[in-house]
Chain A
């Protein structure tokens, strides 16, 4: 079994919520952030991540680990905020008592009060002058290591049948359930990349070969495939795959 975020192929979702202009044309220019609080939630999450107490895979896993009821009820940035709150407490950047007392304060005072800023920034705090530099570097996941990939281009492979994270029950993985047990073909090899199944649980980077694998629509969806000629491509790490025994 998987978690709610693993929703590829799921039935039941309605039309895509595409924003339209008054004349019904698709609006390609909706604002970057619909509300100020979206922008703030996003920016605070990035700035807190820059403190270095967790990596991107850990924060992704925290969003995926929200209780299913909350995951479904929350909008996108509400998920971010909830996961960030749990991370801040779990990683001891703030205590639950501090959190509760600030919540009491804002519930009493509402939105329009000026927060008390600390006179002194923590030495880990991301400074405005470093923002462009840090964004420009990013955080590449590729690692130059001497590992030969097992599989060759055009080789037939099968994705493993169960969630491949063997360290953690319900642990982070990038193998969506809709391809588990299905046959595909190695389309390309992309070098060795940090393995999120380990990295999301602070078990090291453990870089491993990453492939792009092509799956035929008919292999994934059977007779309900829209067109047997269509294909779906996923980027999958070597432990997610097995040789196709012929």
Chain B
């Protein structure tokens, strides 16, 4: 067997840790760790601090669940928009100018009197950024990731959502690059509200499935 064949038959081992893994040298205080990496990359011109500021400002102030709330409210008042949203969510969401990173392939799942949807990412923290922003800490927690697929009703009850036994629970584990948004049911007694007023009732958790929209005040 020549060495090339030998190499081809060798099974890769990815990049599992060695004793001298770079990350093992980092300071114990996480703030100092960030400072070290930032200092290193700024010193080499590999990052621009203005870019970091722009990114943080974008997701703290411009992209967040207020976007998803507008999508939901529009679906509540406009039957043809709702139809487009359920058929091709990416295109319908783009109509409102929400698109791009971590929302390239959107799927909207509709709650009905018979179905309650809830979204999780058991492997990591996949989440539809253009409509919901950066995921909350609990969404990234081991507790939510491990339990939601096995005991969704119990998890939902911790969020104060008690699903009737007659209602089917559908759990969506975002294992690929599709990103899920729940279309919650429009609360009763909101017939008099316009689209903007309705959007105010749409909570972030109601679009993940771990909450319900607020009732009209």
Q: Is B55 an interface residue (CB 8 A)?
A: yes
The answer for the CA separation of A18 and B161 in the assembled complex, in Å, is 13
The answer for the CA separation of A116 and B175 in the assembled complex, in Å, is 41
Known: A231-B168, A232-B171. A168 touches B13 (CB 8 A): yes
Instruction: Provide the residues of chain B in CB contact with A219, threshold 8 Å.
Output: none
- Tally of A interface residues using CB under 8 Å: 124
Instruction: Provide the residues of chain A in CB contact with B133, threshold 8 Å.
Output: 32
Q: Are A5 and B124 in contact, with the CB atoms below 8 A?
A: yes
The answer for the CA separation of A100 and B134 in the assembled complex, in Å, is 31
Q: Is A83 an interface residue (CB 8 A)?
A: yes
Known: A111-B35, A135-B101. A237 touches B176 (CB 8 A): yes
Q: Is B77 an interface residue (CB 8 A)?
A: no
Q: Is A107 an interface residue (CB 8 A)?
A: yes
Q: Are B37 and A236 in contact, with the CB atoms below 8 A?
A: no
Q: List CB contacts (< 8 Å) of A71-99 with chain B.
A: 75-78, 81-86, 88-90, 93-94, 96, 98-99
Binds A, one of B41-49, B181-189, B192-200: B41-49
Among A81, A122, A138, contact of B104 (Cβ-Cβ < 8 Å): A138
Q: Are A65 and B14 in contact, with the CB atoms below 8 A?
A: yes
Q: Are A136 and B100 in contact, with the CB atoms below 8 A?
A: yes
Q: Are B205 and A28 in contact, with the CB atoms below 8 A?
A: yes
The answer for the CA separation of A138 and B100 in the assembled complex, in Å, is 4
Residue of A nearest to B22 (CB): A89
Q: Are B23 and A70 in contact, with the CB atoms below 8 A?
A: yes
- Tally of B interface residues using CB under 8 Å: 97
Q: Mark B137-176, 1 if CB is under 8 A from A, else 0.
A: 1101111111101111111001110000100111111111
B213 smallest CB distance to A (angstroms): 11
The answer for the CA separation of A201 and B171 in the assembled complex, in Å, is 30
The answer for the CA separation of A134 and B149 in the assembled complex, in Å, is 34
Q: Are A14 and B58 in contact, with the CB atoms below 8 A?
A: no
Q: Is B217 an interface residue (CB 8 A)?
A: no
Known: A28-B203, A176-B122. A236 touches B36 (CB 8 A): no
Q: Are B14 and A16 in contact, with the CB atoms below 8 A?
A: no
Q: Are A232 and B149 in contact, with the CB atoms below 8 A?
A: yes
Q: Are B205 and A81 in contact, with the CB atoms below 8 A?
A: no
Q: Is B21 an interface residue (CB 8 A)?
A: yes
Q: Is B1 an interface residue (CB 8 A)?
A: no
Q: Is A40 an interface residue (CB 8 A)?
A: yes
Q: Are B48 and A40 in contact, with the CB atoms below 8 A?
A: no
The answer for the CA separation of A96 and B24 in the assembled complex, in Å, is 11
B114 smallest CB distance to A (angstroms): 10
Known: A111-B32, A235-B178. A136 touches B170 (CB 8 A): no
Instruction: Provide the residues of chain B in CB contact with A144, threshold 8 Å.
Output: none
The answer for the CA separation of A170 and B169 in the assembled complex, in Å, is 33
Instruction: Provide the residues of chain B in CB contact with A82, threshold 8 Å.
Output: 23, 26
Residue of B nearest to A35 (CB): B31
Q: List CB contacts (< 8 Å) of B1-24 with chain A.
A: 11-17, 20-23
Q: Are B39 and A60 in contact, with the CB atoms below 8 A?
A: no
A39 smallest CB distance to B (angstroms): 5
Q: Mark B88-103, 1 if CB is under 8 A from A, else 0.
A: 0000000000011111
The answer for the CA separation of A220 and B137 in the assembled complex, in Å, is 27
Q: Are A43 and B39 in contact, with the CB atoms below 8 A?
A: no
Q: Are B51 and A106 in contact, with the CB atoms below 8 A?
A: no
Q: Are A125 and B46 in contact, with the CB atoms below 8 A?
A: yes
Instruction: Provide the residues of chain A in CB contact with B147, threshold 8 Å.
Output: 13, 16
Q: Are B13 and A33 in contact, with the CB atoms below 8 A?
A: no
Known: A26-B205, A93-B46, A170-B14. A8 touches B211 (CB 8 A): no
A residues within 8 Å of B by Cβ?
5-19, 26, 28-35, 37, 39-44, 46-48, 51, 60-63, 65-67, 70, 75-78, 81-86, 88-90, 93-94, 96, 98-100, 102-103, 105-107, 110-111, 115-122, 124-128, 131-132, 134-142, 167-172, 174-176, 178, 190, 193-194, 196, 201, 210, 212, 220-221, 224, 226-227, 229-237
B residues within 8 Å of A by Cβ?
11-17, 20-23, 25-27, 30-56, 58-60, 64-65, 99-105, 120, 122-125, 133-134, 136-138, 140-147, 149-155, 158-160, 165, 168-178, 203-205, 211
A-B complex: 3 closest residue pairs judged by Cβ atoms: A8-B122, A118-B45, A235-B176
